[in-house]
Structure 1
């Protein structure tokens, strides 16, 4: 998420908003070379230092899960027939798809009310993600203390709806500082939801491999992100940002209702408690 945050800030600083096509092309080329160089260094570090697994399992439940035979196709069949997991796929996809749509078209939305505020648009994106990083930590602490995965997931999801509504109705207030504040609230809950959803998925699908569970979750999210972004872009050009944002609010409200329908079947916690006994 820190990388996403940097991705909001650097492009407006590196690429000139007003300039000739050759100048913008040169700026983009420099930015792409920097990204290629940085990710190449990361690739080398991963080859040299990244381990396949920790020296010991992080929990007794994980240890027991690792001892089970893993068959990808069988695991996939179990996951797609797991009612709770399918509902979580949909609700998670709606939330993250909404985040992708906003982050992709944030510059266009901000410039509608604050012309020339390209750098501010990048900083608002930074604020959304950094607030979400703080939300992730807070939600993680809550999960560690309470182990109430469904309640936490549902609360954060509902708060995302509220944050989106506030963001929608403060865009045209005329004070970009207010937009910064509403973005903090939106990011804290919407981006903070991301790790909570992953943890909840691991709970309701145990003992299926978490790599498969999270992989499918990520794949479905990309599909939702593409569809939601295209819908948002079309609505921005057709009916304006107010109705486009209200549509995203409706999607989040629908996702909240789906989350409420997920049963709190905490299989990983049950396995952990059984192993301790």
Structure 2
């Protein structure tokens, strides 16, 4: 009897058509794969299969790679750069209000009126308006290094021109030197925030920006006082 059942089963399998045999083999393979999955309780009491664990791990790994952002690389010389920038800004602020502080002496020295002395400081404000857009374009295309170097050069040249105009009949030369220094203001006055964002990390931007602004504003406030 067992032999007949075995033969009958073998005979039944042999009667499968060419289309039914691959389907039967595929069903058997799927059944074996489902049976091989080992289910075990998850952290919240729910059943998690090994396949689900692999998928979850891959999902978290992908998101970890997406969420990982490279940090800003900072250098120790960033504080030196900030000090140099603040020094240039402070020097330019000296040039701005040096005539207003002792205006009566310069009025007697050059034999001019108070309006001429006022124009020596107001020229800084007038120069800033037409030149700020070209300087911003230069900043985007050349970088902060070239912008600060050009501003420092204008500041130095203007200072030497004013030194050479220390004569009672050379007030026009003094005014020209003051105009050159006013051009330097456009290159250094508005860039502490840009310097802080380029050279410093996220937790140091506000501090660096405050120090950069302090170089100009502190000198200006003391000069007016």
TM-score interval for Structure 1 and Structure 2 normalised by the shorter chain: 0.5 to 0.7
Structure 1 consecutive aligned stretches of length 4 or more whose deviation exceeds 6 Å: 78-81
Q: Helix, strand or coil for the counterpart of 1:174?
A: coil
Say whether 1:153 aligns with 2:144: no
Of 157, 166, 169, 2:161 maps to 166
Please give the alpha-carbon distance, in whole angstroms, between the structure 2 residues aligned to 1:140 and 1:180.
26
Larger RCO (CA under 8 A, 6+ residues apart): 1
The verdict on how the C-alpha distance between 1:138 and 1:110 changes in structure 2, with shifts beyond 3 A counting, is farther
Of 110, 113, 118, 2:106 maps to 110
Cα RMSD (Å):
3.7
Does the CA contact (< 8 Å) of 2:155 and 2:181 recur in 1? yes
Q: Deviations over 1:108-148 (max 9, x none)?
A: 453142335111111222113322444433321211222x2
Q: Deviations over 1:169-227 (max 9, x none)?
A: 12426154443333211211145421245422332124346444322323354445577
| Aligned residue number for residue 241 of structure 1 | none
| Aligned residue number for residue 5 of structure 2 | none
Please give the alpha-carbon distance, in whole angstroms, between the structure 2 residues aligned to 1:107 and 1:145.
41
Q: Helix, strand or coil for the counterpart of 1:195?
A: coil
Say whether 1:136 aligns with 2:132: yes
| Aligned residue number for residue 188 of structure 2 | 193
Say whether 1:202 aligns with 2:197: yes
The verdict on how the C-alpha distance between 1:168 and 1:222 changes in structure 2, with shifts beyond 3 A counting, is same
| Aligned residue number for residue 79 of structure 2 | 83
Structure index of larger Rg: 2
Q: Displacement of 1:161 after TM fit?
A: 0.5
Of 180, 187, 208, 2:175 maps to 180
| Aligned residue number for residue 98 of structure 1 | 94
Does the CA contact (< 8 Å) of 1:132 and 1:188 recur in 2? yes
What is the TM-score when the length of structure 2 is the normalising length?
A: 0.52
Q: How does 1:1-277 map to 2 (within 5 A)?
A: 82-88=78-84, 90-99=86-95, 101-102=97-98, 104-105=100-101, 107-108=103-104, 110-146=106-142, 148-172=143-167, 174-208=169-203, 210-224=205-219, 229=223
Does the CA contact (< 8 Å) of 2:193 and 2:209 recur in 1? yes
Please give the alpha-carbon distance, in whole angstroms, between the structure 2 residues aligned to 1:110 and 1:191.
26
The verdict on how the C-alpha distance between 1:201 and 1:185 changes in structure 2, with shifts beyond 3 A counting, is same
What is the TM-score when the length of structure 1 is the normalising length?
A: 0.44
Give unpaired runs (5+ residues) of structure 2: 1-68
For these two proteins, the number of residue pairs brought into alignment is 153
Q: Displacement of 1:153 after TM fit?
A: 0.6
